[in-house]
Amino acid sequence: MLYFSKLRIIFIFLISIFFILFASSNFFKFSNGLINKKINLGLDLQGGSYLLLEIDNNPLIEQKLQNLTITIRNYFKDKGIRIKNVKLLDQKISFSVEDQFKQAVLDVFEDEESDLNPYYPRFKSHQLNIIEENELFNVNYSKQGLIELKTSSQDQALEIVRRRIDEIGTNEPNILKRSNDRILVELPGLDDPMRIKSLLGKTANLTFRFVSNNNEDSFGVEKLQYEDGSEEAIVSKRIILSGDNLLDAQPRMNNETNETVVTFTLDRIGAKRFGRATSTGIGKQLAIVLDGNIISAPVIRDTIASGSGQISGGFTFQSATDLALLLRSGALPAPLNIIEERTVGPDLGQDSIRAGMIALFIGFILVVLFIFIKYRIFGLITNLALILNLCLLIGVLTIFEATLTLPGIAGIILTVGMAVDANVLIFERIKEESRNEKNTLIAFDSGYSKSKTAILDANITTLIAAIILFFMGSGPIKGFSLTLGIGIFTTLFSVYFIARLLTVLYISKNKEKEGLI
């Protein structure tokens, strides 16, 4: 265990230099572009907001099924089959047909080429399940159908969330999918997430619909509240225009009324529809509905054929800016709820870094002093290995541009405390061996080899704990497990290569001395 070839010594030396360079690039700036990596600071250290959003897919499922009832009815009507008693309850469509058509209906739903009920060959499942029960057919989404629906709504929502956050212009946001109905948003440096929260909390589903004064509308009507909660109005369910037809929206000052408004531009189809609706509906009230609330319901005075218009509704400049932003970035497929929020202000982050560094420094000094007093010259070697161990650890974190959290700093400090264990095991063993063995070299050699299994065992158990933490833990805990886990490898390297090399160099010069350790 005591022999080092020249090549190996050079190798150890080069590796150490390599990592030290990377570690130091956190503190100094190198003029060349090669080593310009840095450890990322976690949100708890640099300050920022962590938001976990959950997509509430229920309204979307309801709406899809609502559309599906019409599709089903029309589809079978073309085939000369009349669908009766259609009902939508608990995300389930139920209907009945005359007995002689039952098989035909089932065949359509179970046909793998069916365009009414798409088949996913990879999962051997249809989009919809159909069950016959008490003379009724029950149709609902299959498990796979729900997964497809959730995945696609997650994709859309992610895109919209990204657009909204980009519009506000925070630095380097991190927007990620979690399971199939969640979105994780990390916003470094943002200490007041109020505005983003309110922007993400809105579905921004915009529709233009006529206010109907009688209840006789072939599409049905619904009673909606004005946004300020003051009044209600009966609005047709027929949608003239929706937010999808919008090309652009901007906040503006209306010079005549001295009011803040949102102006919008429509795409070609939208402009055509808007023109037709405004020409036939002169004198009627057109309600502008956002997420089920009426913003305003102006009376149409003239045909608007230009494909642009404006929304007024007692906006402040801020609320007009936000509405324009929401309209520009588009509507979410389903409402989002914030189910977890963690925000750390930048000054607390600074305090945490300072406290962590002080703790690291003091812990390090205490351990180093203790080890030096205990082992003298070999303590010095252990300490040197410990310092290099720290450099290696920071170097590895830098190369991977890992994220350092406050618990991560705790992991580094803990590594300092536990890293000496391996050297202690070795030196204690050497002490024991040299009681019976007068030859220093043999005593050292057997000390190293006999302590090997214990050291491996000790580190593997800690590594198991670190790996589990890494895969099970979230955010900051991951940071802890990362430094603890990497610390194990750098510790083994520093003990078996650096400390051993130094020990060998020392004893080979002093092997005649008695009681070396």
Please state the closest distance from residue 53 (CB atom) to another protein, in A.
11
Contacts to another protein from residues 177-236, by CB under 8 A: 191-192, 194, 197, 201
Closer residue to another protein, CB minimum distance, 399 or 418: 418
Please state the closest distance from residue 224 (CB atom) to another protein, in A.
21
Taking the C-alpha atoms of 506, 509, 511 and 515 in order, what is their torsion angle to the nearest 10 degrees?
-50
Closer residue to another protein, CB minimum distance, 59 or 220: 59
Q: Does 175 bind another protein (CB under 8 A)?
A: no
Tally Cβ neighbours within 10 Å of residue 457: 10
Q: Does 314 bind another protein (CB under 8 A)?
A: no
Element (H, E) at 464: helix 452-472
Q: Single out the residue of 250, 312, 363, 384 in contact with another protein (rule: CB under 8 A).
A: 363
From the list 64-72, 93-101, 257-265, 334-342, the region that binds another protein by CB under 8 A is 334-342
Q: Single out the residue of 86, 130, 454, 492 in contact with another protein (rule: CB under 8 A).
A: 454
Q: Does 462 bind another protein (CB under 8 A)?
A: yes
Please state the closest distance from residue 472 (CB atom) to another protein, in A.
4
Distances (CA, A) of 500 to 409, 447, 454, 512: 27, 11, 17, 19
* C-alpha–C-alpha distance, residues 190 and 346, integer Å: 8
Q: What is the 3-state secondary structure (H, E, C) of 3-63?
A: CCCHHHHHHHHHHHHHHHHHHHCCCCCCCCCCCCCCCEECHHHHCEEEEEEEECCHHHHHH
Q: Does 367 bind another protein (CB under 8 A)?
A: yes
Q: Is the Cβ–Cβ distance between 502 and 389 less than 8 Å? A: no
Q: Single out the residue of 36, 237, 345, 439 in contact with another protein (rule: CB under 8 A).
A: 345
Tally Cβ neighbours within 10 Å of residue 198: 10
**Which residues pair with residue 129 across a beta bridge?**
140
Q: Does 352 bind another protein (CB under 8 A)?
A: yes
Please state the closest distance from residue 486 (CB atom) to another protein, in A.
15
Please state the closest distance from residue 380 (CB atom) to another protein, in A.
15
Contacts to another protein from residues 465-494, by CB under 8 A: 465-466, 468-469, 472-474, 476-477, 480-481, 484
Tokens standing for 378?
Answer: 């070999």
Q: Does 42 bind another protein (CB under 8 A)?
A: no
Please state the closest distance from residue 33 (CB atom) to another protein, in A.
35
Q: Single out the residue of 239, 340, 401, 511 in contact with another protein (rule: CB under 8 A).
A: 340
Please state the closest distance from residue 95 (CB atom) to another protein, in A.
34
Q: Single out the residue of 165, 183, 425, 495 in contact with another protein (rule: CB under 8 A).
A: 425
195-201-203 Cα angle (round to 5): 125
From the list 94-102, 116-124, 294-302, 347-355, the region that binds another protein by CB under 8 A is 347-355
Tokens standing for 504?
Answer: 């060998």
Closer residue to another protein, CB minimum distance, 127 or 382: 382
* C-alpha–C-alpha distance, residues 168 and 512, integer Å: 73
Tokens standing for 305?
Answer: 């054929």
- Identify the CA nearest to 275 among candidates 299, 300, 246, 295: 300
From the list 22-30, 149-157, 292-300, 357-365, the region that binds another protein by CB under 8 A is 357-365
Distances (CA, A) of 90 to 54, 55, 94: 21, 19, 10
- Identify the CA nearest to 163 among candidates 64, 60, 243: 243
* C-alpha–C-alpha distance, residues 504 and 511, integer Å: 10
* C-alpha–C-alpha distance, residues 217 and 234, integer Å: 11
Residue 179 backbone dihedrals phi, psi, to 5 degrees? 40, -145
- Identify the CA nearest to 208 among candidates 232, 234, 236: 236
Q: Single out the residue of 348, 377, 380, 387 in contact with another protein (rule: CB under 8 A).
A: 348
Q: Does 432 bind another protein (CB under 8 A)?
A: yes
* C-alpha–C-alpha distance, residues 109 and 430, integer Å: 78
Q: For tokens 């000369």, what's the residue?
A: 80
Closer residue to another protein, CB minimum distance, 299 or 460: 460
Contacts to another protein from residues 404-423, by CB under 8 A: 406-407, 409-410, 413-414, 416-418, 420-421
Q: Single out the residue of 341, 376, 442, 510 in contact with another protein (rule: CB under 8 A).
A: 341
Interface ranges with another protein (CB under 8 A): 44, 52, 54, 191-192, 194, 197, 201, 337-345, 347-348, 351-352, 355-356, 358-360, 362-363, 366-367, 370-371, 374, 406-407, 409-410, 413-414, 416-418, 420-421, 424-425, 428, 432, 453-454, 457-466, 468-469, 472-474, 476-477, 480-481, 484
